[in-house]
Structure 1
Amino acid sequence: MDALTATLSLLRLEGIGPGLYWQLVERFGSAAAVLQQPPQNLNRKLPERAHAQLAEFQRRGPESELGQWALAERARCAELCVYLLHRDDDIYPALLKEIHRPPPVLYVRGNPHTLSLPQVAVVGARRASRAGLDNARDLSADLAASGFAITSGLALGVDAAAHSGALKGGGKTIAVLGTGVDRIYPVRNAVLAEQILAADGAIVSEMPLGSAPEAGNFPRRNRVISGLSLGTLLVEAAVRSGSLITARLALEQNREVFAIPGSIHNPMARGCHHMIKHGAHLVETSRDIAEQLGGLLSGMASQPGLFDDDRSEVSQLTAEQRRIVSALGGDPRSIEQLARDTGCETGELMASLLHLELEGLVESLPGGYQLTGSGVRALPG
């Protein structure tokens, strides 16, 4: 039995999670060796069903329940054009292999060689602000146009914006799932998933085919996102969030962590500020990331950054609208504050804000307004 089939069989054994899998493989040398051990040599906490499965495997080998499931899983992958990468395979991504106890097997739809490109993970809130989405999309487009693959989790919000930005930049992007690669989650991003594949990207998971979006799968997904990447960019995140867990995992894996600062009044900026306090690099432009990653790719200097001096939007604004943009600055402001700071009548102010919102320069929030990423670029120097 080859290493891949043995690994799949062992992972299918009742009660075997990733942690126990690695404990056993490190003790006995390989998945195949583990499967030949008497049950009492493994772990007395294994359920009785695992003992029965193991005994049957040792009697029947590939004809056993475990062996048949592994062979059927390989056949299903072949039918769906899903690659199975064993940790010992040459094309298993080298960076991911470096982390402590990496996924024994990766399921990959798309181009598996994309996983070996230099990657930047871009993560953040599902309910991000318009400014946060703009930042994720624009930074990802810049980095992708310069040769970095953008890695994220295909979730709503920042993840989807990052994938879309990478596609807009003409680059490649990798979606890491907490489900089987044949079960896109959330379903609303199914079209985006197909666009990722059409652009020679990849959809990746360590979960077997058909796996459901269970809560316990997503920390494992986050660990793969950070493990594949040279660095992780945190766009917007609450202090307690999966995105912040991804950033912390990146630090534990000795990878670079970057964070975009925000308003002290924005709860979605607090996770970024927390990470900056604990060693993350503050990011204003795409160059901040590329330079910190050691200049791995040439051409970044010629690419316009997110906050570069490209303010073509401002030339189309009236003097009153420019005053509103200046008054908003970097913080959310209420209607009352804007009226006071600009001297505009409330009716005129609301009309101008509506125009700015339609132009994509301003977004409304509960109790006020703030600039989008495009609005930030329109700020006077």
Structure 2
Amino acid sequence: MTRAEACLILNMVDHIGPVTVRRLSERFGSPEAILEAPERDLRTVNGVGREMARAIARWREEIPWQEEIENARAAGLILLCAEEPGYPTLLKQIHDPPLVLYARGRPTDGEKNSLAIVGARHPSHYGMEIARRFGFQFANIGMTVVSGLAAGIDTAAHRGCLQAKGRTVAVLGFGFDYLPKADNARLADEIVAGGGLLLSEFPMKKKPDRQTFPMRNRIASGMSLGTLVVEAGAASGALITANFASEQGRQVFAVPGRIDQPNFIGCHTLIQTGAKLVRCVEDVLDEFEMLLPRGPDRAKEAERADATPKVSLKLTETERRVFEAIGREETPIDAVMSAGDLPPSVISATLMVLEMKKLIRQLPGKLYVRLAEIGENRE
């Protein structure tokens, strides 16, 4: 039996985690030896009760581990334990590293230069754009972007990285058998096709629940140099990731937002309690100068590469006035209607024209946001 197989079997035993396995390994010498130990000896280890000892001792009868391995291979997965080259280096250093990782895609040597970007599942347009922009910019300077494949900020960070043709890692909160049912199954395929990686510590058939996502979060933070929270409310799961990062001795970063927006309460609380406020890529890179040597203009080049597009279009005076009433953040329809002395029917028609020219976008709730900047040309 290989080390990876032994770790997989122990990972499939109910109610046993990495810390308990570490205690057992210290007592018996290795994961393989744990599986050969008598039940009475297993019970001598601190934290191992009668039921856990019995479950471990009966692994041959209770754990369909060979079927699990066959299913994993059929799904194109690689099994990684801590001794494998593709197991993330930084993840080995946390208190409770996963016993085994199921991986789809291309593992690299340790994933050393990674940054986790996390946030709300239902963010503002501003939050989505900031997450996409940072995903793009960090990928553009050679960092791996780690996130959780959830809707919202996670999705924007993954997609920004893919747009820059960079490497992104998605850590799943469920087993791979559930992935086709997930909302972001297509994005997962794009990540693998783009040279990225999908990771899960859960057995193939494990469904998502209230415990699996916090467990997923510790992996995202644990394999990263730091965690950047882009938008998070007071009870956001992203704060769990930030707390894990802090406990793991990793840097925590947060993007500020408007003080009257509930979706940014979590970010502001993190900043108040010691997280570094982030306005640009350099704010993050400054914390890793010894680990990530860079040229003086590299961050600025990344920001220029993802700058707001400027287009050369001639606008009528009416189009210009309506366009200028819309900002980079969400602008309510009432604010647009109050710009200038234009009839509502004219403003509504002009908004449609500006959307057709791809200068603005309408968001849910009758909000508008600017997508580009224009020159001074006018008709």
AA of the residue aligned to 2:169: I
Distance in 2, Cα, partners of 1:93 & 1:322: 51
User: Residue 231 of structure 1: CA displacement?
Assistant: 1.8
AA of the residue aligned to 1:142: Q
Match of 1:40 in 2: 43
Distance in 2, Cα, partners of 1:353 & 1:12: 56
CA gap 1:361/1:307 in 2 versus in 1, 3 angstroms: farther
Match of 1:190 in 2: 185
CA gap 1:141/1:28 in 2 versus in 1, 3 angstroms: same
Distance in 2, Cα, partners of 1:288 & 1:88: 34
Contact 2:245 2:251 survives alignment (8 Å):
yes
AA of the residue aligned to 1:173: T
Match of 1:261 in 2: 256
CA gap 1:306/1:24 in 2 versus in 1, 3 angstroms: farther
Q: Please tell me whether residue 65 in structure 1 is matched to residue 61 in structure 2.
A: yes
AA of the residue aligned to 1:312: K
Q: What are the Cα deviations for residues 37-93 of structure 1, in whole angstroms up to 9, with x where unaligned? A: 425324687464x55444446xxxxxx225x63333333333333111112334321
Distance in 1, Cα, partners of 2:323 & 2:304: 17
AA of the residue aligned to 1:9: I
AA of the residue aligned to 1:20: T
Match of 2:247 in 1: 252
Distance in 2, Cα, partners of 1:34 & 1:134: 49
Gaps of 5+ in 2: none
Distance in 1, Cα, partners of 2:319 & 2:310: 14
Match of 2:5 in 1: 5
Match of 2:30 in 1: 30
SS, match of residue 245 in structure 2: helix
Contact 1:172 1:201 survives alignment (8 Å):
yes
Task: Report the identity percentage.
Answer: 36
SS, match of residue 101 in structure 2: strand
Contact 1:11 1:21 survives alignment (8 Å):
no
User: Residue 217 of structure 1: CA displacement?
Assistant: 0.5
Distance in 1, Cα, partners of 2:304 & 2:256: 14
Distance in 2, Cα, partners of 1:110 & 1:32: 27
Match of 1:305 in 2: 303
Moved more, 302-311 or 94-103: 302-311
Which of 366, 369, 378 matches 2:367? 369
The structure whose residues are more often helix, as a share, is 1
User: Residue 103 of structure 1: CA displacement?
Assistant: 0.8
Q: Please tell me whether residue 15 in structure 1 is matched to residue 12 in structure 2.
A: no
Match of 1:99 in 2: 94
Contact 1:285 1:307 survives alignment (8 Å):
no
User: Residue 124 of structure 1: CA displacement?
Assistant: 1.4
SS, match of residue 116 in structure 1: coil
Gaps of 5+ in 1: 58-63
Distance in 2, Cα, partners of 1:330 & 1:277: 26
TM-score, with length taken from structure 2: 0.83
User: Residue 155 of structure 1: CA displacement?
Assistant: 1.1
CA gap 1:353/1:379 in 2 versus in 1, 3 angstroms: farther
Which of 263, 266, 270 matches 1:275? 270
Contact 1:131 1:371 survives alignment (8 Å):
no
CA gap 1:215/1:97 in 2 versus in 1, 3 angstroms: same
SS, match of residue 150 in structure 1: strand
TM-score, with length taken from structure 1: 0.82
CA gap 1:78/1:14 in 2 versus in 1, 3 angstroms: same
Match of 1:60 in 2: none
Distance in 2, Cα, partners of 1:178 & 1:331: 32
CA RMSD, aligned part only?
3.3
SS, match of residue 305 in structure 1: helix
User: Residue 115 of structure 1: CA displacement?
Assistant: 5.2
Q: Please tell me whether residue 200 in structure 1 is matched to residue 203 in structure 2.
A: no
AA of the residue aligned to 1:126: R
AA of the residue aligned to 2:9: S
